[in-house]
Structure 1
Amino acid sequence: MFSKSNLIATLVAAIVMFFLGYLIWGIATVSFFEEHTIVNTMKEVPNLGLIALGNLVGAFVLSSLYSKWARGHHSVGEGFQFGAWIGVFVGIGMGLIWYATANWMDLTGHVVEAIIDIIYYGIIGSIIALIYQKTATKKD
């Protein structure tokens, strides 16, 4: 759980999650989601420290799960597949529940969010897999 590969993958993935998340949701899609938001629940000034901590915890969980899922076979493609499944869980599974229970966004917003989640977590999974691949102990 606290292997060199897991800790390095956690750190790198958390940094990428923070900055890629900011690029996606903080810059690139802001106007789109403003148009598809029903009730705006966003804070005027987000707590960046808690966002960073949340990304660190999320990256650790993803990296730990990936290490069990991959069983020593690490590739960028396998990592993307792993991450994409996480994106399906978050974007489609949880998105449908949020759409069914809350007036946060319209259906179009949730569909786009699901697509973004699948790609975002696919990228994070690829990064985690790459770190595991590069830090794996070499067999003689």
Structure 2
Amino acid sequence: MFTKQNLLATVVAAVAMFVLGFLIWGVATVDFFEGHTLTDAMKEEPDFPMLILSNLIAAFALSSVYGKWARGYHSFGGGFQFGLWIGVFVGLGMGLLWYATSEFMDLTGHLVEAVLDIVYYGIIGAVIALMYKATHPKEGQA
């Protein structure tokens, strides 16, 4: 669990999650989601230390699960596929659960969020896979 591969993948994925999350939800889609928000529960300014901690925890969990899932075979495509399934779980599974039980966004907002989650986690999965591949012991090294 605390291998060099996992820890390096965790750090790089946490940075990618923070930057990509900011670009997607903090810049590119702000206006779209304002138009589909039913109840605005957002803080005026995010709690950045907690945001960084949450990205580290999520990246560690994703990297740890990926390490078991990949079984030693690491590729961009395999990592993207791993992340895609995480995105389906988060975006569609949890997103539609939130739609069914809360009034944060309308259905269009939740469906667009699901697509964004699938792409976002696909990219994060690919980043994790590439870090595992880059730090994988070479033949004769163990």
Unmatched runs of 5 consecutive residues or more in structure 2: none
Percent identity reads 64
Residue number in structure 2 paired with 1:72: 72
**Aligned counterparts, 1:26-41, within 5 A:** 26-41=26-41
Residue number in structure 1 paired with 2:53: 53
Residue number in structure 2 paired with 1:102: 102
Residue number in structure 2 paired with 1:2: 2
Instruction: Compute the TM-score of the two structures, normalised by the length of structure 2.
Output: 0.98
Q: Is 1:90 aligned to residue 90 of structure 2? A: yes
SS in 2 for 1:112: helix
CA distance in 2 between partners of 1:55 and 1:18 (Å): 7
Q: Which amino acid aligns with 2:107?
A: L
CA distance in 2 between partners of 1:49 and 1:31 (Å): 25
CA distance in 1 between partners of 2:7 and 2:45 (Å): 30
CA distance in 1 between partners of 2:131 and 2:46 (Å): 30
Instruction: Compute the TM-score of the two structures, normalised by the length of structure 1.
Output: 0.99
Aligned residues: CA RMSD? 0.5
Matched residues, number:
140
Residue number in structure 1 paired with 2:123: 123
Residue number in structure 1 paired with 2:13: 13
CA distance in 2 between partners of 1:133 and 1:46 (Å): 34
CA distance in 2 between partners of 1:64 and 1:103 (Å): 33
CA distance in 2 between partners of 1:114 and 1:96 (Å): 9
Q: Which amino acid aligns with 2:23?
A: L
CA distance in 2 between partners of 1:33 and 1:49 (Å): 24
Segments ≥4 residues shifted beyond 4 Å: none
Unmatched runs of 5 consecutive residues or more in structure 1: none
Q: Which amino acid aligns with 2:16?
A: V
